[in-house]
């Protein structure tokens, strides 16, 4: 994971997921988690970006 990906995943978690996986199931899940709370969205973004 690059520094840019880490920063984007922290600041805008859905954008980080969209860059890694595109607009799909993972993106929708991340948007919902980010609406519920910023931290769950960040954790999910790191999870999605770390598994490839």
Looking at residue 17, what is its pLDDT? 97
Q: Is the pLDDT of residue 1 over 80?
A: no
Reported as a single tens digit per residue, the pLDDT across 6-50 is 999 999 999 999 999 999 999 999 999 999 999 999 999 999 999
pTM: 0.91
More confident residue, 27 or 51: 27
CA distance 4 to 35: 23
DSSP annotation of 36: H
Q: Is the pLDDT of residue 52 over 70?
A: no
- With residue 7 as reference, give the H or E element that holds it: helix 3-11
């Amino acid at each position: 994971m690059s520094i840019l990906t880490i920063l984007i995943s922290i600041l805008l978690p859905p954008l980080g997921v969209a860059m890694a996986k595109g607009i799909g199931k993972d993106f929708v899940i991340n948007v919902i988690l980010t609406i519920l709370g910023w931290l769950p969205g960040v954790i999910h973004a790191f999870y999605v970006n770390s598994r490839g």
